[in-house]
Chain A
């Protein structure tokens, strides 16, 4: 019954969205639009929660539950199991689309009714595409007869708190760009689009998308760090790239919007970026779901899905980009500006972000190009990105440090040095301090540390200077980026590792810590059994710091093994222990990583998120004062 209802509400949302599409084409039908928008929101909500319900009660008559769940799965993971698979995640995707649809509708007033109707029409078109895709190729309510007794289980490597909220956050990011896309299309299609304050409408959506994408990506990295067990957190996997590319474009878009607001320049550029950011989000999904690339996280291998999404993307992209090509002329301007100014620095960063994004895109699809045009296959991995992306990002970070300090229009060069002098001083002091602690002097390490302190001190200086009219959200987010770079540099340059075979009661020294392998236990978890090592960590004065308990888990239902690293974190370093294979006689293989400054990656990401939230609230205020 419940699965039937869920399916019914999915079809009902299809009905409402088509209704919205046609009704918003005709102007001034506020009553009907209201019905359509609310109906769509409610029906997609209901259908999503019905799917959640069948997952929670383990209704194995639903194929999706059978394939991805099991009665022994903990409740939290039954819930997150809804979006842990392709079909269920599509339903979440639709839900987020309709929520943004609702917020676009909230912009509606008498003055902008044509504009908002047009945006709603576009959003309805996009949503129709995804609902149809779900119903036709990936319906999560599909039944299975006869009802199996229990489910097939769930990939335990995905059973992690970070992964519970990682997909929803990412989807808010991707789908948030759909609203910017719709607003951009509405602007381009209307005859008098330039009279509408479309950039003010667009900005909160872009901010929301960017903020949630940032924290979503960070949580993916957290998951990799805690779950994959080799001390790393980013591998330039196509799936990671698929989220990183829209983030880069989103960053460029966000900053360009400021120029549109302050200088009435770069309007065409913003319209193009907002189209591209959403298209890249969809193409990213396509790359992941179609099985065209194989990847660690790939959900499903099904070419028919691939062809559907491809056709839909071609339609969306073809239409929007041709519209841009024909209608964007009036959004070009001649407001050029010197690059030694605030808008100049934003422009430079903008372009560098787009260059990085193009490079990542190239690296991601190049293996496919080689395969299509030659009979060879190549890999593009971390070493490629390290040698191409990093040199482009370094100047971007330098500019990012100084940008907020510069004035609009034309910067008075004689005053600039005076302005940046305190931050140069601060940077030097903090850099010296760090090197006194870590005493490691690689060139990349020095560059990374200087860059991060450059940003941190510039923003601290702004923060302590009174009566600036700079947005506090921006300063906070920039501070976060500085901290993030510090963490990335520390953890990737100064990482130390010890890989040894340890017997019970043996001891190992890493940096200034002594680690004693005390014992090994067999433990039983909710749906796994595990071997758990017990390591006591002492500092150099022989005081105990912590007891680390890395595990080797076995999940009998899916016949999977996972490693659970055990980590002790403080502000300076992570001690990261992984238990390998072994036995009582020969001892166990133990990997100990000393990862400096990792915590600052997560703190940085959180601070960025916080900055984003602050900016969202202040922009919503701006929006309200407009209406």
Chain B
């Protein structure tokens, strides 16, 4: 055990000396201080967009929550676009033009997602119908 610990410390020291920042940067997650915009309204917009953009290399995580380098790049890109005065819609378009609908955590409403958006409503309607149907019949007892 003691030997193991010594080895670990050695490994650790090597890492700390050589490339600590680089390694630990893998580890830092979500938005970083240097990214944050001065204008609070703009920053809020950036956060909202980021929450709807999927981190491509992670699964079902938004870039707002992710520590992947690409997520960070995209966060900065979104903020730069906001600073330049781009609208939210333009930013979403920019991203889907490059990464496809896959990058949106909230799927767009189109032909292929018609069922995805309409079926929950249908389920709900059927449910309400069953409840009402049951209620009408209740006079039997």
Contact = CB atoms under 8 A, between A and B. Distances in A.
B87 to A, nearest CB: 19
B54 A381 contact: yes
Interface string A329-369: 00000111111000010011001101100110011001001
Contacts of B60: 235-238, 295-296, 379, 381-382
A211 to B, nearest CB: 26
29 contacts: A72-B4, A230-B65, A295-B59, A296-B59, A336-B135, A336-B137, A337-B134, A337-B141, A338-B135, A351-B127, A366-B107, A366-B113, A366-B115, A379-B101, A380-B105, A380-B107, A381-B105, A382-B51, A383-B51, A384-B105, A388-B120, A392-B124, A499-B32, A522-B16, A524-B9, A561-B23, A561-B24, A562-B27, A583-B20
Contacts of B12: 522, 524, 529, 554, 556
Contacts of B141: 335-337
Interface in B27-75: 27-34, 36, 51-52, 54, 58-62, 65
A519 interface: no
Interface residues of A, number: 67
Given A339-B138, A376-B101, A379-B102, 15 more contacts: A236-B60, A237-B59, A295-B59, A334-B140, A355-B126, A362-B120, A369-B115, A377-B100, A379-B101, A381-B60, A382-B51, A561-B23, A562-B27, A578-B29, A581-B21
A235 B61 contact: yes
A370 B24 CA distance: 38
A375 to B, nearest CB: 10
B139 to A, nearest CB: 8
Given A358-B123, A362-B119, A377-B101, A336 B32 contact: no
A294 B5 CA distance: 36
Contacts of B31: 499
A229 interface: yes
Nearest to B30: A230
A344 B51 CA distance: 39
B104 interface: yes
A563 B27 contact: yes
Contacts of B29: 229-230, 563, 578, 580, 591
A387 interface: yes
A337 B133 CA distance: 10
Interface of B: 4-5, 7-9, 11-12, 15-16, 20-21, 23-34, 36, 51-52, 54, 58-62, 65, 100-107, 112-113, 115-116, 119-120, 123-124, 126-127, 130-131, 134-135, 137-138, 140-141
A583 B21 contact: yes
Given A336-B134, A347-B134, A351-B130, A381 B62 contact: yes
Contacts of A258: none
Interface string A89-131: 0000000000000000000000000000000000000000000
Contacts of A583: 20-21
Nearest to A298: B59
B105 A501 contact: no
Contact of B140 (A336, A527, A561): A336
Interface in A257-307: 294-296
A232 B65 contact: yes
A580 B29 CA distance: 7
A460 interface: no
Given A339-B135, A376-B100, A581-B24, A499 B33 contact: yes
Contacts of B112: 370, 373-374, 376, 378
Contacts of A384: 105-107, 116
Contacts, number: 177
B131 A348 contact: yes
A578 B28 CA distance: 9
Contacts of B134: 336-337, 339, 344, 347
Contacts of A563: 27, 29
A535 to B, nearest CB: 16
Contacts of A591: 29-30
A491 interface: no
A500 B24 CA distance: 16
Contacts of A351: 127, 130-131
A362 B131 CA distance: 22
A387 to B, nearest CB: 7
Contacts of A358: 119-120, 123
Interface in A536-590: 552, 554, 556, 561-563, 578, 580-583, 589
A378 B113 contact: yes
Interface string A310-332: 00000000000000000000000
A208 B128 CA distance: 30
Nearest to B129: A351
Contact of B127 (A354, A377, A524, A589): A354
A531 interface: yes
B131 A556 contact: no
B27 A581 contact: yes
A95 to B, nearest CB: 30
B42 to A, nearest CB: 16
Contacts of A499: 30-33, 36
A210 B113 CA distance: 33
Nearest to A370: B112
Contacts of A374: 112
A508 to B, nearest CB: 11
Given A230-B65, A524-B8, A554-B23, A379 B107 contact: yes
Contacts of A236: 60
B54 to A, nearest CB: 5
Contacts of A295: 59-60
B39 to A, nearest CB: 16
B131 A294 contact: no
A252 to B, nearest CB: 11
B78 to A, nearest CB: 16
A27 to B, nearest CB: 39
Contact of B27 (A235, A238, A338, A561): A561
Contacts of A336: 134-135, 137-138, 140-141
A344 B135 contact: yes
Contacts of A235: 60-61, 65
Interface in A212-240: 229-230, 232, 235-238
A129 to B, nearest CB: 29
B131 to A, nearest CB: 6
